[in-house]
Amino acid sequence: MQELAFPTLLYRYFFFAWLFKDASSGNMLERAAAWRHNQERAHWLLTYMRRWLWCGLLLYGLGGLVEVILQSPALSAFFYVPSALSVSINAVICAAWLGFKTLPGPF
């Protein structure tokens, strides 16, 4: 088995698009197969939600620490902004997970 490069591993650790197939192209059977494939892999979205939650909390804590200890609100923004972005990323992941659990396939 070929080992992946570190940037690829880092990308796969935080972003989940590589797990899923495109269910909007192909004939009806191909779309249905891709939808079933995506539904089977939807349980991994909860893992990605947990990762982004912990990263967001860690970055928020680091931002607070930098703001209190170093008295530097500008420097703390480097931690607060990615922390706030993790909230929207988690919202997208949650919407995708709910979609795979509740919506019918593309038939």
Percent composition of the chain: helix, strand, coil (DSSP 3-state, to 5): 75, 0, 25
pTM: 0.86
How does residue 26 score in pLDDT terms, banded at 50, 70 and 90? confident
Question: What does the pLDDT look like over 64-104, one tens digit per residue?
Answer: 999 999 999 899 999 999 999 999 999 999 999 999 999 88
Q: How many residues does the chain have?
A: 107
- d(CA 86, CA 50) in angstroms, rounded, equals 11
- HSE, CB side, 13 Å, CA atoms: give it for residue 75: 10
